[in-house]
Every structure is written in C-alpha cells, then in structure tokens.
Amino acid sequence: MAGHKSPSADFTSAELNSLRAIRRSHGNNREAADAVRESIQQRVDAVLRARGRSPRDASSRGRSAQDRSSQGGSSRGRDGGAVPASVAAPPTPATISANSYVWGYNFVLPNAAVASLQDGGNFPELLGAIPPELEPVSQVVEAYLEDDLASVRAVDEGAGVYLTATWTAPEVLVPTAVGWEFITSWLPDSGGSSLVLDVAGASTEPGTPLHIWTYKSSDNADQQWTYASDGWIINAESGLYVEIADSDPSDGATIQINHFTGAPNQSWSICGDGFIRSRMNGNVLDVSGGSNSPGTPIISYHPKYPPTQSPGNQGWTTNFAPSLSCNGLVTVISNDTPNELLITLSPSDGTLLTYPDSPVQLVPPNSVGTYVSTYNTDNEVTFAILDLAISPTNPVVSFEVHQHYCLYEAGTVWADTYYMGNGYTLNCQPNDWYGGAYSHVPGIIVASITGG
C-alpha cells in the first residue's frame, strides 16, 4: 500500500463508534445500521475517487448479504437476522470470507481465490456472504486487489492470505499468510513428546484415515493443517479435507481425508474449550480408547464434558482462532395445534436476539417460529406461549433455552420446561444437560407444542 493515503481523518469518531456498535448489536436497529453504513459508504466513495476510481451507484453497489449467501458463507441479513441455511448454497474452496471485529476487519482469501484472481477472476463473484457492516469496505478491498495483487501472491504460502485493516485506517490493508499449523492432542505419549493429528503413512490418497503420531520437526507436511473460516480443515501435504467417512453419524466413525465436497461431514468448529466439533452431528475428534500410542486412530465420538477430564483424548490445542459459530443458538418452535399462538420471549442479560426483529410473534396453526440468539456470557432465553382465546397474560406453556459459554462448554444447549397447562404439551430436544445436549453447532433446540 505504499503511496496510498490513509483516510482515517475522513471518518469521524462518532461514525466509527457507531460502526462498532452495529457489530455489537448485530444490526438489530435496521434504520440506525443502514444510516451508519451509508455514512461509511460515502467516506469509502471519497477514498475511491481519490484513487481515481468511480464509486458504484446505489443500484449497483455490490450484492446484499443475502444475495451473496447463494454464493456461500455464513451471513446475517441486513436486518441482523440470520439468513436461513436453506437459501445458502455451499461455499467453494475459492470463496472469499470476511470477519468484523471491534478493532477492524479482515478478508480471508483461500489459495484457490488468489489463484483465481491471478487468472482474471472477479472479486465480487468470489466473495461469499459477509457481515453487512463490511459491504462498503469490500469495495476498498476489491480496489486494493486490482492494484496490488502481486503483494498478496508474494505472501501466500499455499494456504491463502489474510487482508487486515483497522477502523482507524480502513484503507491500509496488510496482507499476511494464512498459516499451516499443528493440531496437538492433549494426550502426551509415553516419552512426554507431543502427539499431533497426522495422516496415516503420510499418504495423499483420498480415504486415508487420520491417527495421532509423534511430532516431527521436519518433513512434516502430513502433520500440518489450515482451518478455513467456513469450517474446513485442510492438510498441507495433500490439500485434502478432514471428514467423517461416509457421513456416518455413529460413535466410532472413521475420520479421514478426502477431496472437497462441501458436505456437512467436512465442516468443523474449533471451539475455545478444546473440542473440534463436527457441524454435521455435534460429535468431536476423539483419540480412540484414550490411548497415547502413536498410530492410534482418530474417530468421531460424542463429547464428554469437560474435555479436561482424564484421559483428555478429546482435547486439542491449535493456533487457529476459535470458531464463532459455537456461541449461536437456534430455537425452532413448531405450533402443532389447531390454534393461533402468541410467542413472546425475553433474553437474559448478555444474550442478544438476532432474529426476528420483534420479541413477540404470532404463529398460526401448524406453522413454525424460528428464533436466533447469541451471547456474551451464557445464552438464555425465556419463552412464554399464550393462547389469546384463553388469556392475554397467562401462558399455556413456558420454558427456557440455554447455551453454555463457548470457552466453557463449547455451545452445549438444553431446555428447561417451567409450565404446561390448559391441555397444552411441550416436547423439546434436547431437553436436559446431557443426553443429546451437545446437539449441533451452532446449538439447535427443536420444540413442539401440541394439544390445545
């Protein structure tokens, strides 16, 4: 970025603070969020003009977050609500993703994206769904890549590149390599050396199983991995992806490497408590039988809380940032009655309702209400369901849904039923601490209301 002027003076402190507030509140206030984004957009337009570029007009200014969800990647709509998974096509190995933080942002360009751009690929077409507050600065990133793709290629070590900037200087993008890292088991071998995730026989063949092996100080590409923001764990030696073989949901299923498919059995969350959790079924990477012998297979197994308990065969240490998806709770309430029900909800302190906009929702007979919440501490939401024909104030069903803090229980979810009356019945899955409480990541609770 040599010779490029930092535009930090063009952004007022109030605007930057407002932008940070959008991130913290997940854009719950649509009008305020759009106003701040438009203000930031105007500053970005000025930056682009200063660089001799024409800003996009309002009708062609990028794609919305939901439009890009068809390209792939996680997203929240412009109103802060989660974009339903059913409308999002799986991302590809070349999909560019982005993360927004209080201090700034980064865009993550996989190696395949860097190669595609070098071959004339189009940045907007490679860009997956991104946080809505990053839509304006995505144009700055696009301009940077057009001007200085050579700098990006120069730092790519085969796993891709981060482009990072702060809110105080959002045009000053710094390219750094996405690193290859070891994934180290909490089990030491008998000699006290580190045991790491390893491809059996250093093979590059699809279908090769994974096991633990003693750390090798050289010739160790079969022991090195990168973690893509869409949840993929990729081997440095082969470029293949970690998966649950045959999408087998049972405990003891084989963990292997395979070509990219984009299926849920290849998607993982690296959680802050040490678990590496499948997004297909909530199972975790497990060293079979708790053995610390090199060559012990890695299997899929339900999580045992906490991962620190002996023998620690489900705990892993990595330098990858914990996946943010382990602090999101989705509650689906199915009204399986002949009556219209009023669903009201109350998040606890530290819990944010990110979808829908209103904490009150009428759900017709044989219909479904979906609620998405995230949290800073424990995730807890109280639901009160009313049949207005019986009472406008007294619920016929009430219950709480919970999700543990990511750094403690990696998104464990459960529900507590407080009251059922007037012929109504509530069924929740999962409905207790253990017994299925590990669920999916992000946590999913499915509740059915019958009777009436």
State the alpha helices, DSSP H only, in 304-393.
none
Count of CB atoms within 10 A of residue 203's CB?
15
What's the pLDDT at 379? 66
Comparing 70-84, 253-267, 340-354, the range with the smallest average pLDDT is 70-84
3-class DSSP state of 371: strand
Between 51 and 391, whose confidence is greater? 391
In this structure, are strands 443-451 and 328-335 parallel, antiparallel, or unpaired?
Answer: parallel
Global confidence as pTM:
0.58
Between 23 and 397, whose confidence is greater? 397
Inform me whether the pLDDT recorded for 85 exceeds 80.
no
Query: Of 33, 41, 34, 48, nearest to 11 (Cα)?
Result: 41
What's the pLDDT at 371? 79
pLDDT single digits (tens) 172-184:
788 988 888 999 9
20-24, 154-158, 225-229, 426-430: which is most confident:
154-158
What's the pLDDT at 102? 58
What's the pLDDT at 325? 44
Taking the C-alpha atoms of residue 398 and residue 166, their distance in angstroms, rounded to an integer, is: 44
Taking the C-alpha atoms of residue 48 and residue 46, their distance in angstroms, rounded to an integer, is: 5
User: Residues 390-415: what's their mean pLDDT?
Assistant: 74
Confidence of residue 190 (pLDDT cuts 50, 70, 90): low
Inform me whether the pLDDT recorded for 58 exceeds 60.
no
Query: Of 136, 146, 137, 168, nearest to 7 (Cα)?
Result: 168
Between 54 and 23, whose confidence is greater? 54
Confidence of residue 266 (pLDDT cuts 50, 70, 90): very high
Please provide residue 435's backbone torsions phi and psi, each rounded to the nearest 5 degrees: 45, 55
Confidence of residue 38 (pLDDT cuts 50, 70, 90): low
Domain with CATH 2.60.270.50 in the chain: 325-451
Please provide residue 146's backbone torsions phi and psi, each rounded to the nearest 5 degrees: -70, -35
Helices (runs of H) and strands (runs of E) counted in the chain: 7, 26
What's the pLDDT at 410? 45
282-311 CB burial, b ≥16 within 10 A, e <16: bbbbbbbeeebeeebbbbbbbbbbebeeee
In this structure, are strands 195-199 and 210-214 parallel, antiparallel, or unpaired?
Answer: antiparallel
Taking the C-alpha atoms of residue 149 and residue 151, their distance in angstroms, rounded to an integer, is: 5
State the alpha helices, DSSP H only, in 87-134.
111-118, 123-126
Taking the C-alpha atoms of residue 118 and residue 170, their distance in angstroms, rounded to an integer, is: 24
Taking the C-alpha atoms of residue 181 and residue 168, their distance in angstroms, rounded to an integer, is: 30
What's the pLDDT at 414? 77
Q: Which fold has domain 325-451?
A: Mutm (Fpg) Protein; Chain: A, domain 2 (2.60.270)
Comparing 24-28, 39-43, 88-92, 424-428, the range with the smallest average pLDDT is 24-28
Domain with CATH 2.80.10.50 in the chain: 184-317
Inform me whether the pLDDT recorded for 360 exceeds 50.
yes
User: Residues 273-280: what's their mean pLDDT?
Assistant: 81
User: Residues 356-365: what's their mean pLDDT?
Assistant: 84
Inform me whether the pLDDT recorded for 397 exceeds 70.
yes
Angle between helices 111-118 and 135-155 (to 10 degrees): 90
Average pLDDT, the chain: 75
What's the pLDDT at 76? 29
What's the pLDDT at 432? 47
Confidence of residue 84 (pLDDT cuts 50, 70, 90): very low
Between 81 and 403, whose confidence is greater? 403
Count of CB atoms within 10 A of residue 427's CB?
14
Q: Which of these CATH numbers, 3.30.479.30, 2.80.10.50, 3.30.1330.60, 2.40.110.10, describes 184-317? A: 2.80.10.50
User: Residues 113-135: what's their mean pLDDT?
Assistant: 88
Instruction: Give how far the C-alpha of residue 198 lies from the chain's centroid of Cα atoms, to the nearest Å.
Output: 25
